[in-house]
């Protein structure tokens, strides 16, 4: 093998993306609120960018006559000091618009959650320190829905393990006292003493006293009963069956048929076996169904009403308005910062005699970055308008008649029409919302797969689901439509669809099978 240096010529293709292109792609992907934060960050890092306030924009459009009127108005609003000096401070004085107004600082108020609500009720009860410790163990195992996520045996083992660890710490502290090495200010000793006071009947005990008794299963069950009597009704239940039973007990309906159905035949109840339940309890099937319908007034997740989850507010990126029979698309960018090149820094950049080579490179870099940022924002704006305008033209029947007339649409179709890559269209439509006469919708709503019809045209899968839901709503409750019957109804409308597809769409819409929808 011969070693040495050599030169070779060759051709190859490479795709390289510079950082600016990456940033432009990210800006196209950002929703409106994220873009606002991004632009505010750019204003802090690039001195050549400055914020153009709406007031400044209006001020630039004012002419000389407007300026004169402003000066005249300011002169009229000046304080008449001569009148004040001649007539005293009780006459004239400060104009009402100059008077001090009381300002109240907005304060964020934390709303109590479910655990806080339960703890407040327990504090009003006459609980011993031992019971308080056990109640805190229960509160730590209650989920946001209000259900108890641990069994009574697990809670008993957890709180007894705490006692056991306390006993070991107490013995270690006693040994330290005998050897003369214990410190009277040891924080572990304070924790040990507090736990001793909690698990005993109330009075603190010394280290030489009797050992702390473990919690029995009866104590844990008694505390569970106490928790389940708290507000909201149904809290502390271990499953849906127990939750409904607790709410029925709170309503005083233990003797009703609904309570018997839940306590004795809950599996048959959720399976809607009305005839079997009627024979079992010796009543008419319609009475069983009425009792089951009465359970709808109870809350299956009672803890959610105290949930501290904040509402998710959506700011639409685009707005579609119908004006004089035509649909107009506008970008909802009123809250987005308006950027422009700083005039003061532009004047500084023109004076090249006072700049060093290092300063020139810095200014050129920041100037190019500022120009590119303004162009990228405008390009994003134009791209979003192109995509939405095409969607409005393609889905005009939806805007006029409803979701049943939604046409199938793919990202590739939009990309071919507006002469952009499919990935670019995907970034434009991702996590973007549009305000339309039919509500605020995500842009992904307008894209769906196609199903072939008898006429050769394609139907949107979303419109098929809407038609399926309408069929079920209009069916005879005594004879609900089966999946095969729905297939025949679609076939009569010229839509070819398989029975398994009907079952899949029905599950997506949360519609039960025909057997469970039947009313007697």
Give 478-502 pLDDT, tens digit per residue.
888 888 888 888 888 888 888 888 8
Residue 456: count of CB within 10 angstroms of its CB: 7
Query: Domain 450-520 is in which class?
Result: mainly alpha
Residue 480: C-alpha distances to residues 114, 131, 278, 383 (Å)? 41, 54, 20, 48
Residue 458 CA to its chain's centroid (Å)? 35
Question: With contact defined as beta carbons under 8 Å apart, do 47 and 342 qualify?
Answer: yes
Angle between helices 129-139 and 152-179 (to 10 degrees): 130
Residue 285 backbone phi and psi in degrees, to 5: -60, -35
Strands 318-323 and 326-331: antiparallel
Question: With contact defined as beta carbons under 8 Å apart, do 215 and 153 qualify?
Answer: no
Distance CA 128, CA 139 (A): 16
Residue 215: Cβ-neighbour burial (10 angstroms; 0-12, 13-18, 19+): buried
Instruction: Supply the pTM of this predicted model.
Output: 0.61
DSSP assignments along 121-182, one per residue: HHHTS---HHHHHHHHHHHTTB-TTSBB-S-HHHHHHHHHHHHHHHHHHHHHHHHHHHHT--
The overall longest dimension of the chain from CA atoms, in Å, is: 112
Residue 516: C-alpha distances to residues 259, 276, 511 (Å)? 21, 13, 10
Distance CA 480, CA 517 (A): 6
Question: With contact defined as beta carbons under 8 Å apart, do 384 and 30 qualify?
Answer: no
Question: With contact defined as beta carbons under 8 Å apart, do 265 and 499 qualify?
Answer: no
pLDDT of residue 224: 93
| SS3 of residue 42 by DSSP | helix
Rg, C-alpha atoms of the chain: 37
Residue 97: count of CB within 10 angstroms of its CB: 7
Contacts of residue 370, defined as CB under 8 A and 6 or more positions apart, other chains included, come to 46, 48, 49, 339, 341
Low-confidence ranges of the chain (pLDDT < 70): 1-2, 13-26, 29, 52-68, 70-111, 167-211, 308-312, 335, 337, 348, 351-355, 450-458
Residue 250: Cβ-neighbour burial (10 angstroms; 0-12, 13-18, 19+): middle
Residue 79 gets the label, from left (phi > 0), alpha (psi -120 to 50) or beta, of: beta
Distance CA 274, CA 397 (A): 43
Angle between helices 357-394 and 32-45 (to 10 degrees): 170
Tell the residue number behind the tokens 């979003």, with chain if given. Answer: 384
Nearest to 248 by CA among 238, 236, 235, 234: 234
pLDDT of residue 12: 75
Question: With contact defined as beta carbons under 8 Å apart, do 424 and 28 qualify?
Answer: yes
pLDDT of residue 331: 86
If you ran DSSP here, which 8-state letter would residue 325 be given?
T
Which contiguous run of DSSP H or E holds residue 277? helix 274-281
HEC string for 452-515: EECCCCEEEHHHHHHHHHHHHHCCECCECCCHHHHHHHHHHCCECCCHHHHHHHHHHCCCCCHH
pLDDT of residue 380: 84
Distance CA 429, CA 425 (A): 6
Strands 318-323 and 433-436: parallel
Residue 493 backbone phi and psi in degrees, to 5: -85, 5
Residue 462: C-alpha distances to residues 448, 483, 487 (Å)? 6, 18, 16
pLDDT of residue 455: 57
Contacts of residue 125, defined as CB under 8 A and 6 or more positions apart, other chains included, come to 226
């Amino acid at each position: 093998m011969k070693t040495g240096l050599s030169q070779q010529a060759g051709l190859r293709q490479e795709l390289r993306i510079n950082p600016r292109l990456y940033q432009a792609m990210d800006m196209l992907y950002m929703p409106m609120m994220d873009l606002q934060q991004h632009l505010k960050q750019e204003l802090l890092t690039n001195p050549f960018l400055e914020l153009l306030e709406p007031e400044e924009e209006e001020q630039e459009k004012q002419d000389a006559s407007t300026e004169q009127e402003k000066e005249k108005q300011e002169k009229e609003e000046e304080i008449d000091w001569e009148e004040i000096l001649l007539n005293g401070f009780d006459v004239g004085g400060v104009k009402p618009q100059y008077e001090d107004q009381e300002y109240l600082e907005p304060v964020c108020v934390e709303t109590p959650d479910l655990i806080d609500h339960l703890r407040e009720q327990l504090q009003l009860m006459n609980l011993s320190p031992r019971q308080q410790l056990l109640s805190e163990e229960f509160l730590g195992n209650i989920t946001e829905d209000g259900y108890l996520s641990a069994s009574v045996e697990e809670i008993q083992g957890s709180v007894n393990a705490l006692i056991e660890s306390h006993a070991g710490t107490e013995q270690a502290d006693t040994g330290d006292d005998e050897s003369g090495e214990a410190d009277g200010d040891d924080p572990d000793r304070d924790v040990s003493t507090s736990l001793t006071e909690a698990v005993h009947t109330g009075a603190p005990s010394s280290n030489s006293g009797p050992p702390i008794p473990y919690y029995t299963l009866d104590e844990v069950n008694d505390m569970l009963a106490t928790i389940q009597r708290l507000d909201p009704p149904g809290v502390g239940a271990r499953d849906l069956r127990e939750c409904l039973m607790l709410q029925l007990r709170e309503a005083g309906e233990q003797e009703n048929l609904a309570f018997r159905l839940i306590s004795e035949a809950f599996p048959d109840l959720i399976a809607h076996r009305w005839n079997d339940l009627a024979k079992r309890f010796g009543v008419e099937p319609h009475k069983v169904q009425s009792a089951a319908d009465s359970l709808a007034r109870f809350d299956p997740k009672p803890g959610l009403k105290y949930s501290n989850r904040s509402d998710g507010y959506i700011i639409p990126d685009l707005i579609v308005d119908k004006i004089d029979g035509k649909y107009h698309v506008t970008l909802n960018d009123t809250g987005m910062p308006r950027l422009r090149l700083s005039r003061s820094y532009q004047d500084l950049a023109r004076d090249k005699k006072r700049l060093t080579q290092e300063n020139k490179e810095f200014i050129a870099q920041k100037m190019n970055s500022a120009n590119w940022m303004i162009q990228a924002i405008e390009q994003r704006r134009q791209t979003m308008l192109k995509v939405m305008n095409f969607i409005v033209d393609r889905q005009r029947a939806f805007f006029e008649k409803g979701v049943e007339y939604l046409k199938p649409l793919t990202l590739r179709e939009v990309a071919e029409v507006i002469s952009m890559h499919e990935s670019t269209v995907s970034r434009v439509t991702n996590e973007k919302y549009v305000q339309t006469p039919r509500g605020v919708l995500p842009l992904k709503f307008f894209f769906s797969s196609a199903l072939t019809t008898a006429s050769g045209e394609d139907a949107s899968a979303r419109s098929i689901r809407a038609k399926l839901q309408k069929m079920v709503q209009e069916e005879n409750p005594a004879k609900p439509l089966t999946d095969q019957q729905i297939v025949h109804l679609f076939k009569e409308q010229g839509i070819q669809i398989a029975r398994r597809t009907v079952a899949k769409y029905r599950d997506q819409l949360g519609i039960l099978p025909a057997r469970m929808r039947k009313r007697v």
